[in-house]
Chains A and B, each alone.
Chain A
């Protein structure tokens, strides 16, 4: 029984990473209708930049705001330079562009920092909290708090500020928004900036656990894609809940379903996602888009 609970807790901890990354995916998707395959590599890049600052001897909490701002600027820059020309070419060229970005950023990181994995200090310190025979590391608890904070801020930005309002307007009906004087490109750029900043948090939550290397987010990205689809690509809460479901189901399946083990366990979150979207195509929290003929 204790092991079952601990496995669930372990799955939740892993799900935190998928959840934040899924959140970033959903922000870009809502803006452009693009599944950004490069989101994971962009996040990893943020983690490498953080490490560079840390090596200068700066304290983590001073580096954090700098990295978040730099990530946002980087995301906006990518939108402005390479995504902009393809903005109106439909989802397939954008999907393919994401692949090119993934390969390019991955190669760039390997060139600059090498392919070895390196330790990344936990901002929350080393240690374990134990209660009722269950444990969580400081890092896992800190990640949970980070996730809740990022989620809250993102929801506030989207639902309570004029920035969010305009972002949603541009996303839902680009033509009308343009007619109303909202420059579509500008708001998409801002959307990419926000997504990159959220992604940076994902990397900072992941790097101390996974150790930092250019390929760090390759595997989490796949599960984050499942998480975002499961929870609903248009819903921020959905992305996070999706991440947690994916994490827990992956962990429990690997342990308790005979024959799946550590490698095939990922089948289970994918199957759950497929069943959910067959029943509810917009995902658990997603709003179905009405189609006008």
Chain B
């Protein structure tokens, strides 16, 4: 019985992965672009979840780290002809370094203060991008002349390959983060989140644990940003404005900041909700109406499911599931009885 219940979630993820793998063979390139955006954003949100949900630190500046990763990948690929994966590696290294750099003052701050520090990073980042024009391309940013991820003779389009790359990266990130959270670091994080004093009293190096969470979260966001930029083929300051950082945080909270599935749900909401709102409102003079509907949608999600959509669905389904094992047990007992009765 026990391995069956352990198998169900695994099975769910395996099925999801399976669907993901065959998806590029089924849907159009246009849809694959948006779905790849969802995957990469989900990766960044998962990184944010480690920080917000598991470590209890707030970051309103992950949009800037996401952008840093994007530029770190695009600049060498566009300006120096590096292969795309080398750009992603560089993005990982730089965002790790930046995470540590930002994490050290963050240790001294908590709650609102950390929020402010990260807001400042999010606000200043696009201004710096515009300033460092020779390197970053200034206002216009960097753009790929043609898709970076391609295999000309394979018969697959770039959009298909990009989706598979993003899917693989997301799977790796999920597994790594899950293991991290279930391992020693995760227990330490849980202790720190509940009470940092208590954790310190129990011999946990609070600062080190928090810094590791910040650094890992930042690296994941940077890699996600690198893949995102490579997929959309651009890195432009206007992509990484303050509202984008806020949207990432909103995705984490709305999806459920302790749930990996929630990261995908949250990312899907910030990519598709604006478009759905536009379709719902209709008419092109109604742009502000669609922003209004988007805002109302966000508020509704929060009010209906304050602990995140994944959490709400979980408890809802959990209640439904609660009866199932009981019934099964009854059935089993009756079968047992039948066996015993026929045996003699």
A100, A225, A233, A273: which has the most chain B beta carbons within 10 Å? A100
Residue of B nearest to A104 (CB): B295
Q: Chain A 251-277, CB within 8 Å of chain B: the 1/0 string? A: 000000000000110110010011001
What's the minimum C-beta distance from A282 to chain B, rounded to whole angstroms? 9
Are the C-beta atoms of B110 and A86 separated by less than 8 Å? no
Q: Which of the candidate stretches A51-59, A107-115, A161-169 sits at the interface with the other chain?
A: A107-115
**Residue A119 CB within 8 A of the other chain:** no
B99-140 interface with A by 8 A CB criterion: 105, 108-113, 115-117, 119-120, 123-124, 127-128, 130-131
Q: How large is the interface on A (under 10, 10 to 19, 20 to 34, 35 or more residues)?
A: 35 or more
B196-239 interface with A by 8 A CB criterion: 197-198
**Residue B176 CB within 8 A of the other chain:** no
Residue of A nearest to B299 (CB): A100
Q: Which of the candidate stretches B81-89, B300-308, B313-321 sits at the interface with the other chain?
A: B300-308
**Residue A201 CB within 8 A of the other chain:** no
**Residue A91 CB within 8 A of the other chain:** yes
Other than the given A37-B246, A82-B303, 5 more pairs (CB < 8 A) read: A97-B302, A100-B296, A101-B299, A104-B296, A264-B124
Residue of B nearest to A37 (CB): B246
Contact of A89 among B124, B246, B291, B307 (CB under 8 A): B307
Residue of A nearest to B247 (CB): A99
A108-B288 Cα distance, complex, nearest whole Å: 7
**Residue B163 CB within 8 A of the other chain:** no
Are the C-beta atoms of A35 and B291 separated by less than 8 Å? no
* Chain A neighbourhood of B295, CB < 8 A: 100-104, 107
Residue of A nearest to B257 (CB): A92
* Chain B neighbourhood of A293, CB < 8 A: 195, 197-198
Contact of B58 among A92, A104, A107, A291 (CB under 8 A): A92
Are the C-beta atoms of B253 and A270 separated by less than 8 Å? no
* Chain B neighbourhood of A106, CB < 8 A: 291
A270-B294 Cα distance, complex, nearest whole Å: 31
Question: Contacts A104-B296, A278-B109, A281-B109: A222 and B302 contacting too (C-beta < 8 A)?
Answer: no
Are the C-beta atoms of A281 and B110 separated by less than 8 Å? yes
Q: How many A-B residue pairs have CB under 8 A?
A: 119
Residue of A nearest to B252 (CB): A92
B119, B294, B302: which has the most chain A beta carbons within 10 Å? B302
Are the C-beta atoms of A89 and B306 separated by less than 8 Å? yes
Q: Chain A interface (Cβ within 8 Å of chain B)?
A: 29, 35, 37, 82, 85-86, 89, 91-93, 95-97, 99-104, 106-108, 110-111, 222, 225-226, 229, 233, 263-264, 266-267, 270, 273-274, 277-278, 281, 291, 293
Are the C-beta atoms of B292 and A93 separated by less than 8 Å? no
B253-300 interface with A by 8 A CB criterion: 253-254, 257, 288-289, 291-292, 294-296, 298-299
Are the C-beta atoms of B112 and A233 separated by less than 8 Å? yes
Question: Contacts A95-B58, A96-B249, A106-B291: A86 and B302 contacting too (C-beta < 8 A)?
Answer: yes
Question: Contacts A95-B249, A225-B119, A293-B198: A264 and B299 contacting too (C-beta < 8 A)?
Answer: no
What's the minimum C-beta distance from B280 to chain A, rounded to whole angstroms? 14
A107-B277 Cα distance, complex, nearest whole Å: 13
* Chain A neighbourhood of B246, CB < 8 A: 37, 99
Lowest 7 CB-CB distances: which A-B pairs, in order? A104-B295, A89-B306, A270-B120, A103-B295, A107-B292, A100-B298, A107-B291
* Chain B neighbourhood of A29, CB < 8 A: 112
**Residue B41 CB within 8 A of the other chain:** no
Question: Contacts A92-B58, A273-B116: A222 and B123 contacting too (C-beta < 8 A)?
Answer: yes
**Residue B177 CB within 8 A of the other chain:** no
**Residue B94 CB within 8 A of the other chain:** no
What's the minimum C-beta distance from B238 to chain A, rounded to whole angstroms? 15
* Chain A neighbourhood of B197, CB < 8 A: 291, 293
Are the C-beta atoms of A103 and B289 separated by less than 8 Å? no
A77-B246 Cα distance, complex, nearest whole Å: 25
Residue of A nearest to B305 (CB): A93
A264-B299 Cα distance, complex, nearest whole Å: 33
B13-52 interface with A by 8 A CB criterion: 52
What's the minimum C-beta distance from B241 to chain A, rounded to whole angstroms? 11
